[in-house]
């Protein structure tokens, strides 16, 4: 028999035994009176113990566990042991939480913990600086009530956190933040913020330097190229070596002009102040023009086919889209051997407009595909020099694609050709054309 049951059953049994002995000695009435008084005393004892327990439950942190004997003593001993264990575990958790807070406070990023409804559960000191929060005042507040920048609210509502968000003008006018959201647990989120103001300034300086140098190079290159063409066309230039030298000079100045133009285009696309100027883009008309330019560039060495499977227009910037489409067409011509086939295709997939350029060229190894849109990245430098590429074409395409909220998809296999596709969101489909189709 356990200690609990021994303490619970032994006193009533003793009362009953004494009552039986009293019955035998003095009759039933004294025995029943004794038994009734004994049970009343036991009830009073238990009620007092319950009252002590109820009093302790009103303030378990500030009052000690009651003490008693018998069955209640056993209950209080076990309860006291459990309370001490819970307090020890709570202290351990609090120490671990304190260590985590100290470690998080030492991070070079701001950290905000949001619940499933985007309410703030906790933030570190750096996040307080970035978002203007107060950890004591703003806990439980919805973060969009405190940080109301439309770009941040839209980023939070989209629930697509693959790419970080860059926010400018945060609290201090010159602060630039990179925001990254990470989902975890039951739809909770971590908001990671990093101050990239210094890096943005360096990047701005780099862009300005490239743009200024490129702009300054245009005039001397134009002058040099003009004199080279004049000298090359002189009727009395009989020296074959001089003609060959002038031809090479003309080719290299043309290549440098092309490089300068691409650098200026890239600098303009990277400029955050250069907002996208949108209009209705006649894609079919643009592709007819690009098809003719591709045929001219090919010089009859390739079979170039235009397939217009859709007549929809786009909402976007005509100049930028023509530059992106043109770069894809030019690359296909340059990197497809003579006799190859190139297909320019305009179509729709699940309501999304898609422009693609498919070629039967040399193809691209899979390890190179993720880096193709980097500036000046070349798979084969010698071949790039032969084809006259600048190494900036796909970087320009990437920026144009991002500015139009589209995706660049590349499928390629060595020796079997490549397919470059720009997939536009359905919202980029021209509304007027959409209504006509409907």
Specify the pLDDT at position 233.
Answer: 72
Tell me the C-alpha distance between 303 and 359, whole Å. 10
Would you list the domain boundaries of the chain? Answer: 3-101, 107-195, 199-270, 279-437
pLDDT at 382: 52
Partnered with residue 142 across adjacent β-strands are 119
pLDDT over 90 (residue 1): no
CATH 3.30.70.260 fits 279-437, yes or no: no
DSSP for 364-432 reads --GGGGGGTTSTT--S-HHHHHHHT--S-HHHHHHHHHHHTT-EEEEEEETTTEEEEEEE--GGGB-HH
What does the pLDDT read at residue 322?
92
Confidence (pLDDT) at 343: 93
pLDDT over 90 (residue 290): yes
Q: Which of 332, 346, 331, 353 is nearest to 406 (CA)?
A: 353
Q: What confidence category does residue 438 fall into, taking pLDDT thresholds of 50, 70 and 90?
A: very low
- Torsions phi, psi for 101 (to 5 deg): -65, -40
Within 108-206, strands assigned E span 110-114, 120-123, 165-168, 176-184, 188-195
Mean per-residue pLDDT, 408-434 = 83
Contacts of 292 (CB under 8 A, 6+ apart): none
pLDDT at 433: 44
CA diameter of the chain: 156
For domain 107-195, is the CATH number 3.30.450.20?
A: yes
Q: Which tens digits make up the pLDDT trace of 187-213?
A: 888 888 888 888 777 777 777 777 777
Domains 199-270 and 279-437 share a fold: no
Name, in order, each residue with C-beta under 8 angstroms of 190's C-beta and a sequence gap of 6 or more.
111, 112, 113, 114, 181, 182, 184
Q: What would the mean pLDDT of 238-261 be, rounded to a whole number?
A: 74
Which pLDDT does position 285 carry in this prediction? Answer: 92
pLDDT at 262 over 50: yes
Question: Does residue 156 contact residue 117 with C-beta atoms inside 8 Å?
Answer: no
pLDDT in tens, 9-68: 667 777 788 878 878 787 788 878 877 888 888 788 888 888 888 887 888 777 787 877
pTM value? 0.55
pLDDT digits (tens, 9 = 90+) for 349-385: 888 999 999 998 888 888 888 888 887 777 665 555 5
Q: What pLDDT score does 69 carry?
A: 73
Model pLDDT for residues 165-184, shown as the tens digit of each residue? 888 766 556 788 888 888 88
Q: How far is CA 71 from CA 56, 60, 68, in A?
A: 18, 21, 8
CATH of domain 199-270: 1.10.287.130
Mean pLDDT, residues 139-164 taken together: 81
| pLDDT for the residue 354 | 93
Nearest to 378 by CA among 362, 394, 366: 394
What pLDDT score does 434 carry?
Answer: 39
Strands 303-308, 341-349: pairing kind: parallel
């Amino acid at each position: 028999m356990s200690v609990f049951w021994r303490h619970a059953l032994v006193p009533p049994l003793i009362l009953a035994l004494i009552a039986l002995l009293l019955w035998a000695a003095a009759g039933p009435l004294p025995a029943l009176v004794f038994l009734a008084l004994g049970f009343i005393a036991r009830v009073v004892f238990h009620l007092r113990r319950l009252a002590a327990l109820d009093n302790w439950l009103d303030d378990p942190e500030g009052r000690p566990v009651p003490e008693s004997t018998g069955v209640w003593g056993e209950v209080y001993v076990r309860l006291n042991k459990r309370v001490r264990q819970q307090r020890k575990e709570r202290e351990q958790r609090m120490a671990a939480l304190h260590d985590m807070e100290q470690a998080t406070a030492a991070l070079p990023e701001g950290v905000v913990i949001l619940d499933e409804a985007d309410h703030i559960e906790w933030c570190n000191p750096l996040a307080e600086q970035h978002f203007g929060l107060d950890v004591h005042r703003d806990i439980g507040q919805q973060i969009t009530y405190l940080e109301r920048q439309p770009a941040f609210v839209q980023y939070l509502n989209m629930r697509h956190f693959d790419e970080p968000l860059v926010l400018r003008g945060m609290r201090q006018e010159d602060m630039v933040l990179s925001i990254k959201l990470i989902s975890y647990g039951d739809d909770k989120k971590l908001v990671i913020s990093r101050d990239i103001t210094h890096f943005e300034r360096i990047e701005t300086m780099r862009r300005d330097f490239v743009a200024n140098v490129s702009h300054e190079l245009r005039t001397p290159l134009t002058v040099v190229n003009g004199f080279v063409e004049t000298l090359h066309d002189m009727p009395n230039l009989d020296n074959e070596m001089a003609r060959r030298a002038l031809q090479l000079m003309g080719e290299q100045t043309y290549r440098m002009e092309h490089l300068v133009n691409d650098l200026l285009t890239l600098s303009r696309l990277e400029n955050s102040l250069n907002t996208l100027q949108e209009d209705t883009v006649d894609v079919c008309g643009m592709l007819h023009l690009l098809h003719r330019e591709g045929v001219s560039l090919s010089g009859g060495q390739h079979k170039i086919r235009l397939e217009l499977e859709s007549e929809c227009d786009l909402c976007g910037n005509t100049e930028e889209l023509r530059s992106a489409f043109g770069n894809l067409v030019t690359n296909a011509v340059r990197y497809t051997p003579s006799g190859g086939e190139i297909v320019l295709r305009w179509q729709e997939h699940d309501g999304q407009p898609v422009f693609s350029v498919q070629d039967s060229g040399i193809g691209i190894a899979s390890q190179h595909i993720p880096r193709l849109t980097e500036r000046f990245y070349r798979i084969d430098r010698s071949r790039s020099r032969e084809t006259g590429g600048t190494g900036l074409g796909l970087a320009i395409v990437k920026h144009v694609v991002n500015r139009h909220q589209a995706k660049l998809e590349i499928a390629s296999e060595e020796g079997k050709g490549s397919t470059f596709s720009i997939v536009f969101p359905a919202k980029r489909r021209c509304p007027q054309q959409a209504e006509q189709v409907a």
